[in-house]
Amino acid sequence: MKKFIYFAIFILISFSLFADDINTGSRAEVTDIDGNVYQTLIIGNQEWMAENLKVTHYRNGDAIPNLTVSNEWINTTSGAYCVYDNIPANAETYGNLYNWFAVFDSRNIAPEGWHVPTDEEIKELELALGMSQAQADETGWRGTNEGSKLAGRADLWADGNLENNVEFGTSGFSLLPGGNRGSNGVYGGMFDYGYFWSSSEGDYVEWGWDRSLHYGNADVHRYAIGKSFGFSVRCVNDDAPLPVNLSAFYVLYIGGTPTLYWTTQSETENAYWNVYRGTNNEFDQASLLNDGDPIAGQGTTQYPTDYIYVDTAPVVQNTTYWYWIESVATDGESEVHVPITLSIPYEDTPITPDTYGLHQNYPNPFNPSTSISFALEEDSDVELIIYNVKGEVIKSIFNNHVYANDITSVVWDGNDVDGKQVSSGVYFYKLITETKEYQRKMLLVK
């Protein structure tokens, strides 16, 4: 079954060789109700926070009680948090410690669109890092070096097998040795242990499942423990990421030959790629260019990957071609990504823009996407940024090197940096070059 995927792309039409690195983007962010911003990352088929939770309010705005007195912590059976040793600076590095009642509270401590993971969801994370299903289902210390992969900041951990493993920190999850608060109200374990809760109850109603790392072990500990303990919290996105997270797709006309470039930020069970070309925007009428010669995907990876495909099929002058790329998963499911176009000029016809600088977007007003084009008289590194009327950055949609006289078109799909659709209104787009800045405004109408 084919799915059609749309995203912000950029299209370059050029007669000069392309030698710059392809922009691979960065990890995403999520913001909680208090305004704390967390880096996120994709591991396997899940998107996780890469930092411990610091929030002090539930999603509905209710305050989570900060219980600093031991007796209060011991006796409560409702949600609460604390900071290790009641030193506020510890929260900046390690986040807060929450009891299980806060984790399970229906008011939700996770940001909108996120949740505290179940025990099974943490197992899925461990499986993606190499643990077997049989190991994941065990209690106690399990796996091989998945703990080292999950940990981060070697400077904070006590010296031992965890940080000395060659895979230390490789997942980007970056769990820290933030210690815990016991059911007796006493703090302990900082620099030695890192814990985080699941939202699943244990075999007894008084227990909740958790995970922990220890500086002396490279594996991961799974256990059900009393709900009054204070542990760190990590959150996982409600939605599974797309099997292929495509961040760039464009075509260059080099020496009379179209050459396609694309970059993925991550891939999940991506077996191979197909490339299609047509003379209109109807995918069903396009021809498969690499018939019998699939382009190998990366399977499952959380790291960026660059691809290049040279179209050796004959082209006709003064003709516009549409290109699609299709990612095919190991189970046969496929995704067809939004097309890009390339106009083949008459031979020896130079590309000379009518006007240099930043052009008005088209269409304008627009819904849901619009094209922004520009052309420069000199080679330059450039960045194209979308702003709202408050001057806040919505998204950087192009950051690369362009050549003099190239006509560059960038398609903005109306999404912000987190992939969320922005609201109707006036937006500004600014082109920043090495020597000049240009700015125009546009109107999104829904």
Task: With cut-offs at 50, 70 and 90, classify the pLDDT of residue 14.
Answer: very low
Q: Taking the mean position of all CA atoms in its chain, how far away is CA 161?
A: 30
Q: What percent of the chain has pLDDT over 90?
A: 60
CATH architecture designation of domain 352-446: Sandwich (2.60)
For residue 107, the model assigns a pLDDT of 96
| In the chain, ranges of CATH 2.60.40.10 domains | 1-12+246-344
Q: What is the pLDDT of residues 43-78, one digit of tens each?
A: 877 889 999 999 999 999 999 999 999 999 999 999
Average pLDDT, the chain: 87
CATH superfamily, domain 1-12+246-344, is Immunoglobulins (2.60.40.10)
Q: What is the pLDDT of residues 220-248, one digit of tens each?
A: 999 999 999 999 999 999 987 667 877 77
| In the chain, ranges of CATH 2.60.40.2550 domains | 352-446
Residue 13 clears pLDDT 70, i.e. is over it: no
Q: What is the pLDDT of residues 285-334, one digit of tens each?
A: 999 999 989 999 999 886 778 899 999 999 998 899 999 999 999 888 89
More reliable by pLDDT, 213 or 301 = 213
* Strand arrangement, sheet containing 207-214: 140-142, 220-226, 207-214, 193-201
Task: With cut-offs at 50, 70 and 90, classify the pLDDT of residue 406.
Answer: confident
What does each C-alpha distance from 394 to 31, 35, 268, 357 come to in angstroms?
14, 16, 27, 22
For residue 241, the model assigns a pLDDT of 67
For residue 424, the model assigns a pLDDT of 80
More reliable by pLDDT, 19 or 437 = 437
For residue 181, the model assigns a pLDDT of 98
Q: What is the pLDDT of residues 163-193, one digit of tens each?
A: 999 999 999 999 999 999 999 999 999 999 9
With 0-12 / 13-18 / 19 or more C-beta atoms within 10 angstroms meaning exposed / middle / buried, residue 284 is exposed
Please give the average per-residue pLDDT across 108-133, as a whole number. Answer: 95
Task: With cut-offs at 50, 70 and 90, classify the pLDDT of residue 250.
Answer: confident
